[in-house]
Structure 1
Amino acid sequence: MSTKSQVLTLLMKQAPAFISGEEMAQQLSLSRTAIWKAINELKKEGHLISSSRNKGYRYDNSDVLSAEGIRLSLDSETPKLSIVVLNASESTMKDAKLAAINGEPANTLIVADIQEAPKGRFGRPFFSKAGSGIYMSMLLRPNQNFEEMAQYTVIMAVAIARAMDDLTQVQTEIKWVNDIYINGKKVCGILSEAMSDVESGQISNVIIGMGINFSLKQNEFPEDLREKATSLFPETEPTITRNQLIGAIWNQFYRILTQLPEQAFLEEYRQKSFVLGKTVSFTQAGVGYEGIATAINDHGELVVKLQDKTEKVLSSGEISLSSINPTL
């Protein structure tokens, strides 16, 4: 761990209290000069650190993404994560794929302050702004069969919804299969991709990515998105940091994984779904359909009853809902 990382971690642990430079130097076995240099570097990166001649240094609430801040928000039961924080990324999904190819370990998390070419499912672009969102991807090595792949997106959706509800007292909803909504507007999109082992036929790597609108003000969205998208804090100042939300999301995600094969998370997913009972339109294999979404099965697939009373079972990779309307 670098000197700067050690100093930042200690300041964050001590917050909101002051800690003297002398005590920091003793705890970290560093010189006072090294402490001073590290603090100046952290300030240049945007961290808010108060100083007092009599009291020392205090870390003030700063919404600067950092591996140290994320780690301090992780539960002891959550696996140790290898965390990479970037100022900018073309795509954290691409970064995670490269990490997989390069043999990086499981549970490698890549987080970016801004994503310069963000894309969701089917290559759709979405809006990104520095300092106002969370753009991250996780590399997993599950060694599971492909039919289990869909559940990762469902688990991730439940984990994000739980974390947002717990930390911000909002009421999230889920649009099947991969979008989180607040007050009828999209706040988060999730994307899962698998890499397979040809010989075993199993998934060798899973990459789960997401883009979360954190503190983007409503009037900052492009005009064509203002009625469709929102953020966790669209009008007020954030009451939590992005690091805290990131930690809470992965705490929930790994908590659900440890409870498998129990299906309790699926019931949560169903209860939060605003698609069930609605008339939905979709295209499958180039053919348009309309019907009532009647269920989400144990594989996370959507069951739709068509007008001719037959059923279509929709997997996440096959279709995109084009419209959702109340059933009359």
Structure 2
Amino acid sequence: MTTKERVLKLLLKNPAKHVSGEQIATELNMSRNAIWKVIKSLETDGYDIEAVRNKGYSLKLSNDILSKSGIESYLDDKVFFDIEAYDSVNSTNTLAKRYASQKPIEGKVVVSKMQTQGRGRRGRDFYSPNDTGVYFSIILCPKLEKEELTFITSLTAVAVCRAIKELSNTDPKIKWVNDIYINNKKVSGILTEASFSLENEHLEYVIVGIGINIYKPEEGFPEDIKNIAGYIFKEPVADIRNKLVATVLNEFLALYKNFNIEKIAKEYKDLSFVIGKSIHVLKENEKIEAQVKDINKKNELVVEYENGKIEVLNSGEISIKIKDISPKVIEYENGKVETTYKEGPGKVEATYKEVPGKVETIYKEGPGKVEATYTEEPGKVEATYKEVPGKVETIYKEGPGKVEATYKEVPGKVEATYKEVPGKVEATYKEVPGKVEATYKEVPGKVETIYTEKPGKVETIYTEESDKVKKNKN
């Protein structure tokens, strides 16, 4: 470790706190003049350092400079990982592969602020702009069976989710097989590549590439991914790149050293958000609709097609694309906002409309099946719920001094009515005409309850006026 890295490491251990020149000199065995030169060099590198007479040097919280020493300051195991940090590379996986092909060293990590030729699965590009994300690749030499290698990707996905959750107020989830999502937006992707000997098919090395979108790019995401790409933080977080890389590595190593397939598979499944979802299975040029039934113990996706056929998919066969369930928001010049949410064609649709002084919400589950409407205007509230025409209907109305609720289930069978006007309350419940009827009425100083079970058989009347109570039973 260079003198500059040692000084930086000491400052990073004490963010926003002043470290005296005497302390630095004592701990690092340096002269005051040498310390001053290192501080100036760090400032040239872009670090914002405050120097105060009689207090020392302080690294400001606004600093977020990716560096080897910065990452190492947060690592639990500084021996396993050998880190190389760059401002820009063509691809961290490509560079790591170059190192591994010469002499694979397990635990070597290539990390960069930017990739000019970032790579994703199936030859896709991985958008990797400067200053808004972090991109890194880990070289591994695992002693695993071929069928166990798929769990390297699963393990990595779990580690990334753990790290993001630890450092942010978010709940990251996994989209099978290698993407991390927050609120239906992709914030991270994983690319795992392995090299085998041509002679004996012996595993030579594995490279795990991880890309994470930390912030939203200033110019936004490219057109082709703007509807699916997301990011973790809305506001700057001090030294987050170094913290995030180190936290992912810490979580990764904890899982990797104690490689337990059952535990990895369980946590991966628990973090998945595709189970039960309608999806598109993409096979070559074919897009097939299906529903995800399960993720099995082999980390395979179990899907059911519309014709009832069940298929088990592994990561090498297909890609899946979850149907677009993102809310569509339209804002109009007159102040009107309209939001529509759809889960599947003709399946679930919710619309929220807002205009000045009026709010209207409509929810439909299927054509003519379930419909709920909520309308609010100044001094008026109206809610309507219908489930199968003519079968179930609930109406709630509230206006100045008036409340009315109506519930009907099968015409003439069950009916409940609640009405409230100033000084008066009336409730009626009917179940099968002439069989059960309950009525509750309240006016100032008077309460009356009538319950009838069968005509002429059981009747209870309860009347209360002031301090007088009268009860009749026949």
- TM-score scaled to structure 1, two decimals? 0.92
> 1:294 — aligned with what?
293
Q: Any idea what SS the aligned residue of 1:220 has? A: coil
> 2:360 — aligned with what?
none
> 1:222 — aligned with what?
222
1:118 & 1:192 partners in 2: Cα distance? 13
> Greater CA deviation, 89-98 or 316-325?
316-325
Q: Given residue 153 of structure 2, which amino acid in structure 1 is its aligned partner?
A: T
CA drift of 1:175 comes to 0.8
> 1:255 — aligned with what?
254
CA drift of 1:119 comes to 1.8
CA contact (8 A) 1:90 1:118 kept: yes
> Greater CA deviation, 98-107 or 133-142?
98-107
> 1:14 — aligned with what?
14
Q: Residues 113-262 of structure 1 correspond to what in structure 2 (within 5 A)?
A: 113-217=113-217, 220-233=220-233, 235-238=234-237, 241-262=240-261
1:151 & 1:265 partners in 2: Cα distance? 8
Would the alpha carbon gap of residues 240 and 4 (structure 1) be closer, same or farther in structure 2, given more than 3 Å must change? Answer: closer
2:300 & 2:226 partners in 1: Cα distance? 30
Deviations 1:117-170 (A, max 9, x none): 112111212322211101111000113222112111111111111111111020
CA drift of 1:217 comes to 4.6
Q: Any idea what SS the aligned residue of 1:257 has? A: helix
Would the alpha carbon gap of residues 262 and 316 (structure 1) be closer, same or farther in structure 2, given more than 3 Å must change? Answer: closer
Q: What is the root-mean-square deviation of aligned Cα atoms in Å?
A: 2.1
Q: Any idea what SS the aligned residue of 2:13 has? A: helix
> 2:102 — aligned with what?
102
Q: Given residue 15 of structure 1, which amino acid in structure 2 is its aligned partner?
A: P
Q: Given residue 66 of structure 1, which amino acid in structure 2 is its aligned partner?
A: S
CA contact (8 A) 1:168 1:239 kept: no
Which structure: greater strand fraction?
A: 2
CA contact (8 A) 1:143 1:202 kept: no
Deviations 1:237-283 (A, max 9, x none): 22661111111111111111233225223222212222111222223
**What residue ranges of structure 1 are gaps of 5+ in the alignment?**
none
> 2:70 — aligned with what?
69
Q: Any idea what SS the aligned residue of 1:225 has? A: coil
The reply to whether residue 112 of structure 1 matches residue 143 of structure 2 is: no
> Greater CA deviation, 237-246 or 36-45?
237-246
CA drift of 1:224 comes to 4.4
2:257 & 2:2 partners in 1: Cα distance? 32
CA drift of 1:225 comes to 3.2
> 2:81 — aligned with what?
81
2:225 & 2:283 partners in 1: Cα distance? 26
CA drift of 1:183 comes to 1.0
2:5 & 2:59 partners in 1: Cα distance? 13
Q: Given residue 281 of structure 1, which amino acid in structure 2 is its aligned partner?
A: H
Q: Given residue 258 of structure 2, which amino acid in structure 1 is its aligned partner?
A: Q
> Greater CA deviation, 198-207 or 101-110?
198-207
Would the alpha carbon gap of residues 264 and 143 (structure 1) be closer, same or farther in structure 2, given more than 3 Å must change? Answer: closer
Tell me how many residue pairs correspond in the alignment.
326
Q: Any idea what SS the aligned residue of 2:25 has? A: helix
1:127 & 1:287 partners in 2: Cα distance? 26
CA drift of 1:298 comes to 1.7
Q: Any idea what SS the aligned residue of 2:162 has? A: helix
Q: Residues 46-57 of structure 1 correspond to what in structure 2 (within 5 A)?
A: 46-57=46-57
The structure, 1 or 2, with the larger RCO (C-alpha pairs under 8 Å, 6+ apart) is 1
- TM-score scaled to structure 2, two decimals? 0.65
CA drift of 1:288 comes to 4.8
1:285 & 1:147 partners in 2: Cα distance? 24
Q: Could you tell me the percent identity over the aligned residues?
A: 37
> Greater CA deviation, 204-213 or 10-19?
10-19
CA contact (8 A) 1:281 1:321 kept: yes
> 1:44 — aligned with what?
44
Q: Which runs of 4+ in 1 moved over 6 A?
A: none
CA contact (8 A) 1:15 1:60 kept: yes
Q: Any idea what SS the aligned residue of 2:94 has? A: helix
Would the alpha carbon gap of residues 37 and 218 (structure 1) be closer, same or farther in structure 2, given more than 3 Å must change? Answer: closer
1:322 & 1:244 partners in 2: Cα distance? 31
Deviations 1:30-76 (A, max 9, x none): 23222222111111112121111211111222110011111111124
CA contact (8 A) 2:64 2:238 kept: no
Q: Given residue 60 of structure 1, which amino acid in structure 2 is its aligned partner?
A: K
**Rg comparison, structure with higher value:** 2
2:230 & 2:109 partners in 1: Cα distance? 25
> 2:317 — aligned with what?
318
Q: Any idea what SS the aligned residue of 2:24 has? A: helix
CA contact (8 A) 2:191 2:209 kept: yes
Deviations 1:76-103 (A, max 9, x none): 4x75210000110000000110110121
2:26 & 2:322 partners in 1: Cα distance? 62
Would the alpha carbon gap of residues 286 and 128 (structure 1) be closer, same or farther in structure 2, given more than 3 Å must change? Answer: closer
The reply to whether residue 32 of structure 1 matches residue 32 of structure 2 is: yes
